[in-house]
Structure 1
């Protein structure tokens, strides 16, 4: 009997094991929802305690960030439809997707804007009831899992703003219910598989933008997605022509193909099919040929952007009369023909940019009658005739640029241009006097009248303006230059006018007699000869002294007369003289023999540029002259290292002031700093040729003069160190990351809008009184995130605005806050240009 029992023991054990396993699986399947959610929570790192109140003692439908359907929430039954919205909570850790996917009825999951730093969990494919999955900006990396194709009921998939790499799996075509697919701002590569778009016919929204490593033509199958309303493919390496099948996308409201390598003509009938289109952006490609007619049928069109191509012929005639059109950007093409008169009463145009084309004829008289027009620029064309005197009848007109045309006649009185910020009329044939009434325009900041035939004196009324630029060079002006203009601007903006006189100019107004002039000239020549002889003797003595010694590998180039030698420069590279540290090296304060002080930025990772290349780049930067730009006085070169010499200011940098124990600067002075920095950047971006991007803007690069007038320093370093060394240095500077625009990591080509983002961070520092780096904040580490967390709260403004500032300034600070939030928008296209920032700050 005993032996029989022993013989059956293995069978008993097997049955017992199966029973235990079955019971365990059943218990697991019936595990309460709140236990599953608490298991999921336990896998997370929650530094801000956002999920601290999740507790089994409280119904899970009442937990923060958990949403249940109304009927189920009343009973807290396991049949509830549950959504988790955990975006922007600073979460990290290993996601327990196994527990999460056993939550019955889990319909929505958002883990966006967190810091998980892991691959997309494959087990999320088991969340069979998911309808919406948002993992955007969650620091996910690695390949895009094809297993997500198992989520058959998914209608929205958002993985934007991560480091997802590799190809887009064709298996995702199984997601036939998908309406939203957002993969923008990743590192996707390769060719898009045709099957993917052949089956996703329910898509309303598709965004593949900012994937610079894609190497794909535009899939013709996209044209079969008849439900598509928003299509964003900008900046993703697409090439070839636009397929004719795109004409089937009749529901499109927004189409952005900009910043790719697309070529060829635009398909005929392109506009006829898109009668619901609101925004069209084909800019910065290689399109050619005439733009097809039919766009006049796009009666809802608001933005027409085709700049940076090789289009020829005339702009479509019906374009100008579209009732809702706000923006026409066609600059940098080969368009020709005459500009039509506009339907002044009905037009809603705000911005017309036609620069660098071959347009001819007169400027339309109706431009100034469009009440919403704030920018009209048509430089580098063949326009002729006079400048309409009603060009500023639009109360919004802020920017006029018709430079480098064949315009003639007098510069009209522009008394009604009360909003005018920038007036550019250079390189035309204007004659007569500069209107004194320009001095009455309250916000006029930039005036360029150079290379015309203007005569008479420079009006003293221009001294009423707070000018950042006045260029009247190469005209026929005469007489004394108003004193404030001479002291505030370098002579380069006045040159080419022999009749002008004043302090610092060749003609000092108090003209001596010809005899005295001759004697003075002779004395000058004699002094020069004597000085040259002494210099030669000194040089000969030095050469003898150092004969036989190896020549120094260092080359010193000075753009302004300062007394310093290479030996003195390197003797001062001592730790006690360090006044700043940045991504590219240390900044030293050096006192010269004559008591003058300079700041020297030593670039230790300066690439492999030759001396000649560095000199050429430094010349470009050293020629920049603006009251809000720090002057570069020289540089010192040796292979592998460059040291840049700047003017020095006793008050130090804005960062020094913000990091002081108490930031005591008043709001008016803070606003003055913000406006000055904005004016300096606007000059670099829009007024200096060639355009210069700063790319290292931060509060430590904003120097302060005695009257708190800021000087922007550290600009254009990337031109000297080159891109590879520049990016490598930035990656090593953790403190700088707070100022870097989010698109920096996935774009090849830097843009002005990256500088705008950095400026927005500085503006937030001035508004809050807090540094950009927030090491003591519990809920985030940078000021942009800190502000975003609070701005929509009921008392958000009270938490954000610096409490040390008087309540009387609250309204202005609130307006500045709104501007700073726009400047730090995640999407570059939503940030304002710097000339707009200047205009808005001037109104404060």
Structure 2
């Protein structure tokens, strides 16, 4: 209370002082004020660095109102009418020591945008002299330091956008003096501390308030925000807010968007929430700790389009009125404790597009009217208690793309899905479905992911599935039988057939082409003879290979294949010669071997494998081979001999990311391609850390272990090697690998156990390589330090970012590169607890890829990435 009183007492004195200074500076007797606007603007230009020449058209030979990026308007047609001047200098690659002393003397300056530039400085205090300024946009301008309280001396300010910078410290309570402010955007900074209640008491004209992405704030939601009766857009996500949602928020009758997601809010949503919010179009309370039933009054928000409450602890039934809202497009309520039955969809009028209800306790059947929702493209209700049969019309919507009803208690046969022409993903695993797999699935043109595992399906695997370009086929643990179409085994990135003893085909325990002839003695004798001959040949071959590897010392070897590969042990080991070496790493050399059928495979030869027994190596390799993801390299098999393990992978012609960065020609890939590589690596690593059970740590992630296919889609290789060679051999090999030391997290040498955050550090180094265009070790010829230290030495110096970012990338991508650089610095933090987990990294990269910070409040959209 004392601090609030102090602020209230000092604020009038502060404003009186600033007003006096402004009045003195605006005195007509000032000789500087007599300068023409043209000269003042040229003085301002002289303080800027303009490498692209965007302001080259500013010259004395043309009226300043005709200059590029300058707009003039007049309130009246009279010759002496006052002129309003607007400067739109966003995204021009400007930098330099910004000085506003001359700029603020330009008569009638009402709008200034310096957004998306690279000034790398604090806000110049001279901006407080721009008394006529109504709009100030400094977003993504590489500004830092504290927010200056002097901004409160801009009495005409209506819009203030400081988002996407690196401002620190508290939000000045003095900004409450900007009573005419309608837009206050401070999102995406590093603001901290507690929000002072006085900040919001006078800002009753605000239409937009954005404090999102300030993760260091330590504040409860200020109840005073609920008294901003004009507020339409409120973005407070990801800023560390705690406590309950204030009841005062119920009175925001003009509110259209409310985003409180990714905070630490607790308690129940206030009763009556939604009753007065008749204009609410988007509500996002996801990823908090909210609990209790959700108020039924939300069903009265007739304009609501998005309802997102996932990842909380809500209980009870979803409000019944939600389902009949005429404009509702998205319901995301997964990962809560909701119960009850799903109501029937309103026929003919629903505009629902996404319904995600996974991991709750919903019961009863799937609504029979689901197929009548013609706009629905995603229905996901896995991990519930749904029962009954699957509606025949579940896919009647012409837009249906994803159906996920895994891990329920559904039964009956699987319908034909003939009308699902846009279906991409079909997940029916972990139910009680019976009968055959519908052959009509093979007629669906874009079906890519099929998971029907852990049911009671019978019959065979339909040959029609060969018509599809599948990335996943999982029919494991059913009662299927018969021959599996060969292409479904050999051509798919991920196929799971185990748990079906009746299936036969290449790579399966049962061979369809070898019928038993137990009652024919002659045939049995021939079989036995053939077997004995094979054993003899195998022994001779093993002896020859052992002699080749270890001289005269006998050493057995074994070849284990997880995918059909036409190779023998002799062919594999014969390929280990210097001419076929394509890489070297901590654990040995990598060879390119061409098979007799023309297929190329890459073989990583782990010489120092700790001499683990074959059974232990086989178990570990089988576990690693089950890791399937589009961004993880396929492990084809391995060859074992005493003290040595050789792992076989698919060979990708484009080589590794290290090859690309260290090529003889300069690394010239566009930023879009680099972000795609970063996203792919992050998705693959997140799959190892968060989606695979048990968790897999990579422990040797580096650019040479990121392989690239023909379209530069990345695939991670070399993961889990520590589990194959043993911890002691792993530590010995890593200690000797000095060329890639900077990929290793600094805590690894002293940590008792490895953690996923060590992999995050390695990913951060790869992201730095993509941002800078330089290799991890010795990124500059005049500087022998690794890339992490090289970046950190430059990040805080004047114009440091321009030295770090790859100059070959277009300047239009600099905002994205800046964001990627910040993410990389977080990932490579010396303190492990300051690094983000890989699922958070993926979310950050998704925003980097697909979202653009709105200049005007938009309708929120969602990026849906198929698995």
TM over 0.5: yes
Partner of 2:333: 330
Can you list the C-alpha shifts for 1:221-278, whole angstroms capped at 9, x where unaligned? 1111111111010011111111111112121100000011111111100121211100
2:709 to 693, 704, 708: 704
Give yes or no for contact 1:682–1:834 (8 Å, CA) kept in 2.
no
Give yes or no for contact 1:355–1:381 (8 Å, CA) kept in 2.
yes
Can you list the C-alpha shifts for 1:163-184, whole angstroms capped at 9, x where unaligned? 0111111111111111100011
Measured at CA, do residues 46 and 680 of structure 1 come closer, stay the same or move farther in structure 2, by a change above 3 Å? Answer: closer
Give yes or no for contact 2:407–2:429 (8 Å, CA) kept in 1.
yes
Partner of 1:612: none
Shift of residue 559, structure 1, vs aligned partner: 9.2
For 1:469 and 1:275, the matched residues in 2 are separated by: 44
Q: Is 1:365 equivalent to 2:368 in the alignment? A: yes
Can you list the C-alpha shifts for 1:330-352, whole angstroms capped at 9, x where unaligned? 00111010000011201000110
Partner of 2:429: 426
Measured at CA, do residues 167 and 489 of structure 1 come closer, stay the same or move farther in structure 2, by a change above 3 Å? Answer: same
After superposition, where does 1:748-759 map in structure 2 within 5 Å? none
SS in 1 for 2:83: coil
2:69 to 65, 79, 100: 65
Partner of 1:42: 46
Give yes or no for contact 2:816–2:848 (8 Å, CA) kept in 1.
no
Shift of residue 704, structure 1, vs aligned partner: 2.7
Measured at CA, do residues 590 and 41 of structure 1 come closer, stay the same or move farther in structure 2, by a change above 3 Å? Answer: same
Measured at CA, do residues 108 and 700 of structure 1 come closer, stay the same or move farther in structure 2, by a change above 3 Å? Answer: farther
For 2:541 and 2:704, the matched residues in 1 are separated by: 45
After superposition, where does 1:11-90 map in structure 2 within 5 Å? 26-70=30-74, 79-90=82-93
SS in 2 for 1:101: helix
For 2:463 and 2:27, the matched residues in 1 are separated by: 95
2:229 to 205, 226, 229: 226
After superposition, where does 1:465-614 map in structure 2 within 5 Å? 465-489=468-492, 493-513=496-516, 515=518, 516=524, 519=528, 590-591=591-592, 598=602
Measured at CA, do residues 183 and 101 of structure 1 come closer, stay the same or move farther in structure 2, by a change above 3 Å? Answer: same
Q: Is 1:393 equivalent to 2:424 in the alignment? A: no
Partner of 2:772: 735
Give yes or no for contact 2:702–2:763 (8 Å, CA) kept in 1.
no
Q: Is 1:723 equivalent to 2:727 in the alignment? A: no
Shift of residue 510, structure 1, vs aligned partner: 2.2
Measured at CA, do residues 646 and 529 of structure 1 come closer, stay the same or move farther in structure 2, by a change above 3 Å? Answer: closer
Shift of residue 832, structure 1, vs aligned partner: 2.4
Partner of 2:791: none
Partner of 1:825: 851
SS in 1 for 2:152: helix
Measured at CA, do residues 693 and 110 of structure 1 come closer, stay the same or move farther in structure 2, by a change above 3 Å? Answer: farther
Give yes or no for contact 1:119–1:142 (8 Å, CA) kept in 2.
yes
For 2:468 and 2:334, the matched residues in 1 are separated by: 30
For 2:586 and 2:72, the matched residues in 1 are separated by: 54
For 1:337 and 1:687, the matched residues in 2 are separated by: 29
Measured at CA, do residues 622 and 73 of structure 1 come closer, stay the same or move farther in structure 2, by a change above 3 Å? Answer: farther
Partner of 2:379: 376
Partner of 1:810: none
After superposition, where does 1:83-162 map in structure 2 within 5 Å? 83-162=86-165
SS in 2 for 1:69: strand
Shift of residue 502, structure 1, vs aligned partner: 0.9
Structure 1 spans left out of the alignment, 5+ residues: 1-20, 546-556, 603-614, 636-642, 739-772, 787-819, 839-844
For 2:768 and 2:385, the matched residues in 1 are separated by: 46
Measured at CA, do residues 298 and 161 of structure 1 come closer, stay the same or move farther in structure 2, by a change above 3 Å? Answer: same
SS in 2 for 1:454: strand
Q: Is 1:201 equivalent to 2:197 in the alignment? A: no
Partner of 2:244: 241
SS in 1 for 2:225: helix
Shift of residue 623, structure 1, vs aligned partner: 2.9
Can you list the C-alpha shifts for 1:65-92, whole angstroms capped at 9, x where unaligned? 11111358985x7942111110010000
Partner of 2:865: 834
Measured at CA, do residues 239 and 562 of structure 1 come closer, stay the same or move farther in structure 2, by a change above 3 Å? Answer: farther
Give yes or no for contact 1:176–1:202 (8 Å, CA) kept in 2.
yes
Give yes or no for contact 1:289–1:310 (8 Å, CA) kept in 2.
yes
After superposition, where does 1:609-648 map in structure 2 within 5 Å? 622-625=625-628, 629-631=632-634, 647-648=650-651
Give yes or no for contact 2:390–2:411 (8 Å, CA) kept in 1.
yes
For 1:198 and 1:192, the matched residues in 2 are separated by: 12
SS in 1 for 2:102: helix
For 1:463 and 1:89, the matched residues in 2 are separated by: 52
For 1:685 and 1:369, the matched residues in 2 are separated by: 39
SS in 1 for 2:101: helix
Partner of 1:289: 292
Greater mean deviation of Cα atoms: 615-624 or 494-503: 615-624
For 1:446 and 1:290, the matched residues in 2 are separated by: 35
> What is the number of residues matched between the two proteins?
702
Shift of residue 831, structure 1, vs aligned partner: 6.0
Partner of 1:444: 447
Give yes or no for contact 1:774–1:780 (8 Å, CA) kept in 2.
no
Give yes or no for contact 1:578–1:586 (8 Å, CA) kept in 2.
no
For 2:47 and 2:206, the matched residues in 1 are separated by: 34
Measured at CA, do residues 494 and 370 of structure 1 come closer, stay the same or move farther in structure 2, by a change above 3 Å? Answer: same
Structure 2 spans left out of the alignment, 5+ residues: 1-24, 519-523, 555-559, 607-617, 639-645, 720-742, 744-754, 776-804, 819-845, 855-859
Partner of 2:827: none
Measured at CA, do residues 529 and 53 of structure 1 come closer, stay the same or move farther in structure 2, by a change above 3 Å? Answer: closer
Give yes or no for contact 1:698–1:736 (8 Å, CA) kept in 2.
no
Give yes or no for contact 2:629–2:684 (8 Å, CA) kept in 1.
no
For 1:211 and 1:22, the matched residues in 2 are separated by: 37
Shift of residue 655, structure 1, vs aligned partner: 10
For 1:166 and 1:569, the matched residues in 2 are separated by: 62
Measured at CA, do residues 436 and 616 of structure 1 come closer, stay the same or move farther in structure 2, by a change above 3 Å? Answer: closer
SS in 2 for 1:119: coil
